[in-house]
Structure 1
């Protein structure tokens, strides 16, 4: 039983080697001169703390800990156990190794005295309190631990920042990245599907699997992909760039043609007024007969005046048409093939004006305008001239 106990407690008694146990019988009879006591005294001297050392002053907070008293009582109990184990090992070694003399055997087998027990207990207390490290080593170890902790926290914070930045880039990349092709749109859809899967958006897919989905029948002249992409843009209130550019180009073309047509109408009106081809009592037929009498025919009059006006306004029209064609070129690069527009040609635009002119309506409007003007002049003259009743009233 004693041998089994010594084997079990051997890890706790590493400070005493088997060689020392074998040499117990060679100790001197004097207690203070034994090798074990000298070794313990050396350990005690090494563990003695110099209170004037600045490192000790920095670590004094450790000595004022609340649990020192409890640790001291625990060390006393452990030291008593170690002494009992050492005594048991001494007895076992004496039984197996024998003694060279009765005197040595009696001294080896005798129980330890009170002085031996107190000295050994005090030594083991110092051994238990000193784990083999000085205060300088403790401070250096604490500093290293603090530095490692700081570096570890910095790495953790850096990893957290990188994770947040990557999450931010992934979240806002699709907002700040323009979609210029179907490939980018497909990759964007894949990312959104994967994000929804990570958030559990597809957990209830099994409940709706197998049910038919009623979809509107797309236009037979448009592919299915283009149809649904257009629906996505409409729901998001987004118009393609060529749609906005189309409205701008159409407005420029319409304004130019209206301005060109108005210029020719004003030219004809000025000719009719200049040569006095009509008056307030005239009508359309009399004006046409007077024009045919002077120029041979009404169509000849129109063509002659049109050529003169065209030569005078061709430079201005070419400059305007060049600006409009530049906008049309930009629009055609953006728009689909079926919605692209033809460029303007100056000769065709002038011919459009000649074909759309209504000379009879122009003559009628000029006669009406002349009659209204004469009526306003008569009314103004009558309001300014004094009447006969007003003359007698004043008289």
Structure 2
């Protein structure tokens, strides 16, 4: 009967007739032999070691050894070439005997473990460890990634516990307080500003000093006496010199308010004397209440000012600028359309001079179809475009400057795009190169030339008749003229003759 041997570290397991035997011979390799040979070898090994006696008495844990044998059969051996890549097989001794690094080469160097030799496996294991760490400390990692510029509300939301579906007592109390007391639309920012605010002109004038005067005063100060700066009369003169006539005008808040009230009362009295309050349109009618005027989220001053502008039909500056920009762009496009319409009609007449009006209309329709479908020969004049290019560049640059000034005033939703020469020419061709536009222009061109020719003939005939009917200016009869000296001489002669008479 055949027997089978398995190498386990420094031992060898021999299976013979369904039983296990262990051999401690170091040079034994797994091989198959006859039952007689295996029996003799086993006998010698048993007698040499002295570890095994009778099989019937020593193999009490036969089932355990049998299971161990099945595990050995199922586990691939590292040195077995039929299992594939050696790195894919675990070392035999690490699974059975738990003794790492028992395989040694001829140089007695310790082999690396599977994890150290395979970089892909190391990468996978490191990723698994990182993923488990991220999952375990997910909340802490999220908190550490919060930016420093995040506001307090967002930070509290990130650090707060997730909502469980029930409203807590603190949240309900806060909600009721917010519903009762609406927040103001404008809140004062707390905290000291890094930039020093600019002082009003009144305070700047009060704190102003001339270096030259300070220098002169420093020379004449007397330590024993009080300085001139503390003298009341001198301070008044100094203040008058610095502030001028403005020092006599009251600058306090109460005086300013009283001045405004006086002006308002004066105008109201003048309106009463004129009778402006007698025929008011809303007199005796209930005052119209506006729901937005009492809202805490709208600035009342700004709201009332906007209503005043609306009632007075006053528009913001950017709307006025918008109308002027649209007019300038419209005029530019109209002039460009007229120039190309004239050139297009002349171009058709130059290319097809012998064609009739109907044939020229058909040619125009072909050009219009090619323009709409963007395919085929189109009505173009490269020479005309080159002539107009310099003018178009300057004109569009000027229009873009106007649009830029408008965009600086207008809100983002109402801003306009800048113009380009290519886009304007393309849109102009689409507007003009249509059959109805070109046909009407062609008819007016042809009929207009005939009418002009007839008018010129009539004018020439009328001019000839007028020459025959009326005399020229050089043929008109004129009285004889005399010089200024002779005129005075005749006057004196007449006066002398009258005296003698």
What TM-score bracket applies, with the shorter chain setting the length?
0.3 to 0.5
Larger fraction in helix: 1
Give the structure, 1 or 2, with the largest relative contact order (CA under 8 Å, sep 6 or more): 1
- TM-score normalised per structure 2: 0.32
